[in-house]
Structure 1
């Protein structure tokens, strides 16, 4: 998934969480945590991949093992600074990034391309492209199969981003005033 898609998915999920949990739109600071958290895995892995440190662009930052350590550290700092809501926003965004990077074929029972979640315990390319672990219900096949087309998947990404922008505007553009105040200092 591309950066706008990751941001769109993360904002939609966090806004839904804030509306359900707090009965209000997201606040300024947590929205900024959503922006950072939605990109964090790629901000770690892509530069290290380009430098030749890792074999793919989905290694350390995309691993669930790293996510456990990262989110534990984020919450420790958040508890100390009384910013648990912001830590939760970051956690939702970071985990949504990992989930959004799962290939659509995974929902159809094909694990190829999901090895990054358990890196370094499961090396890349452990699963064969046509290896199938389970047969999904017909409903899942009907919904997911069109997403296996890269053009359709890209279109869905931008639709999600557009929906997130619309929701962000509806929510009162949280985070914008915070950034403006920072730039005035």
Structure 2
């Protein structure tokens, strides 16, 4: 998924969470934590793999569920210590949504190829072959997920998600915008 798709998914999920949990739209700090959390895995993995050569791929260390478990503990510890649990939760929701959004649609159809990153370094990349199928999904899953295996449909879907998220962010009062403006010297 592209950065705008990750941001769209993360903001939609966190905005729904904030409404359900607090009965209001996101506050500025958590909204900014969603922005950072939605990109965090790529901000670590891509440079370390592509520019420095320390990682085997652009989806390995920070895309791993093992890393996510440690990150969750560290972020919540910091959130509790600083009195920013809501912001920590926003970051974690955004980070986990990034990992889920990077799972190829074919995985939901039983083809696990390119999902190895979730268990890096326990699984090498690649472990699964492209045509290897581990399970047969229900017909309704094939019906819903099938169109998203087409790259053009998937990219269009990302833009739609991003557009819906931007519209919701606007309806929410553009949380985070004034926060940033107030901290930029004139």
TM-score, normalised relative to structure 1? 0.98
Aligned position for 1:78: 79
2:37 matched residue in structure 1: 37
SS of match in other structure, 2:179: helix
Shift of 1:104: 0.2
1:33-58 CA-to-partner distances (Å, cap 9, x unmatched) read 00000000000000011122122100
Q: Deviations over 1:53-96 (max 9, x none)?
A: 12210010100000111110011011001100000000000000
- Alignment TM-score, normalising by the size of structure 2: 0.98
- Deviating above 3 A after TM superposition, structure 1's stretches of 4 or more consecutive aligned residues are none
d(CA) in 1 for partners of 2:53, 2:21: 42
Q: CA RMSD in A?
A: 0.8
After superposition, residues 105-124 of structure 1 pair within 5 angstroms as 105-124=106-125
SS of aligned partner of 2:103: coil
Matched, 1:141 2:142: yes
Match of 2:21 in 1: 21
Q: Which runs of 5+ in 2 are unaligned?
A: none
Deviations 1:134-179 (A, max 9, x none): 1111111011111001111000000000000000000000000100
Cα separation, 2, equivalents of 1:184 and 1:9: 31
Aligned length: 185
Query: Aligned to 2:123, what secondary structure does the other structure show?
Result: coil
Corresponding residue number in structure 1 for 2:163? 162
5 Å matches for 1:39-118?
39-50=39-50, 51-118=52-119
In the aligned structure 1, how far is the partner of 2:96 from the partner of 2:41? Answer: 9
Residue 174 of structure 1 corresponds to which residue in structure 2? 175
C-alpha deviation, 1:184, in angstroms? 3.2
Looking at structure 2, the residues matched to 141 and 67 of structure 1 have their Cα atoms a distance apart, in angstroms, of 29
Cα deviation, residue 114, structure 1 = 0.3
Deviations 1:83-132 (A, max 9, x none): 00000000000000000000000110111100000000111111111111
